[in-house]
């Protein structure tokens, strides 16, 4: 099982860093999409936001994969933070991306910033560990 845990750790480190970088790109794509809106077409039908929508789906899937990797490593801290990340990316982002409810939609960029912050924190922590799987640390709870 140690081989699986080590491989999971290496993949997790790369994936969580990729999620953080993708969040920065996502902010750019949101700005590009909003300033690319033309005409009176409904927000849901604006093609200028397609890249933002597509990358958002990729980030959500990557967060779920990261959660599965954290479960394989069985680190309580990683599982907890990655669960919050996946919940924000998959559930909250979809629930707050509804133009019918502008006050709720205002939380969409806020949760996006939270996703960036959590993924950046996890990436920093993972790379600061210098390639050591989290479970191999002195903390028995991970």
The most confident of the ranges 37-46, 98-107, 109-118 is 109-118
Which whole number is the average pLDDT over 21-47? 83
Which whole number is the average pLDDT over 76-95? 91
Residue 10 is assigned to a structural domain of this protein? yes
One-letter-per-residue 3-state SS of 115-139: HHHHHHHHHHHHHHCCCCCHHHCCC
Domain assignment of residue 113, given as a range: 2-133
Burial code (b: 16+ CB inside 10 Å, e: under 16) for 120-132 equals: bebbeebeeeeee
Residue 139 is assigned to a structural domain of this protein? no
Rounded CA-CA distance 59/19 in Å is: 6
Pair 1, 135: CB distance under 8 Å: no
Confidence of residue 41 (pLDDT cuts 50, 70, 90): low
Residue 100: what pLDDT?
83
Q: Which of 115, 119, 138 lies closest to 127 in space, CA to CA?
A: 119
Quick one: angle between helices 107-128 and 2-35, nearest 10? 150
Residue 140 is assigned to a structural domain of this protein? no
> 70 or 38: whose pLDDT is higher?
70
106 secondary structure, DSSP code: T
88 secondary structure, DSSP code: I
pLDDT > 70 fraction of the chain, expressed in percent and rounded: 86
Query: In the chain, how many domains are there?
Result: 1
pTM: 0.84
């Amino acid at each position: 099982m140690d081989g699986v845990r080590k491989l999971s750790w290496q993949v997790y480190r790369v994936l969580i860093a990729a999620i953080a970088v993708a969040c920065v790109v996502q902010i750019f794509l949101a700005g590009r999409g909003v300033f690319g809106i033309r005409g009176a077409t409904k927000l849901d039908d604006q093609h200028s936001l397609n890249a933002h929508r597509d990358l958002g789906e990729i980030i959500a899937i990557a967060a779920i994969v990261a959660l599965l990797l954290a479960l394989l490593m069985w680190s309580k801290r990683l599982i907890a933070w990655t669960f919050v990340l996946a919940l924000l990316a998959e559930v909250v982002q979809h629930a707050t991306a509804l133009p019918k409810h502008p006050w709720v939609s205002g939380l969409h960029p806020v949760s996006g910033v939270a996703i960036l912050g959590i993924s950046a924190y996890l990436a920093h922590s993972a790379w600061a560990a210098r390639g050591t799987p989290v479970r191999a640390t002195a903390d028995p709870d991970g």
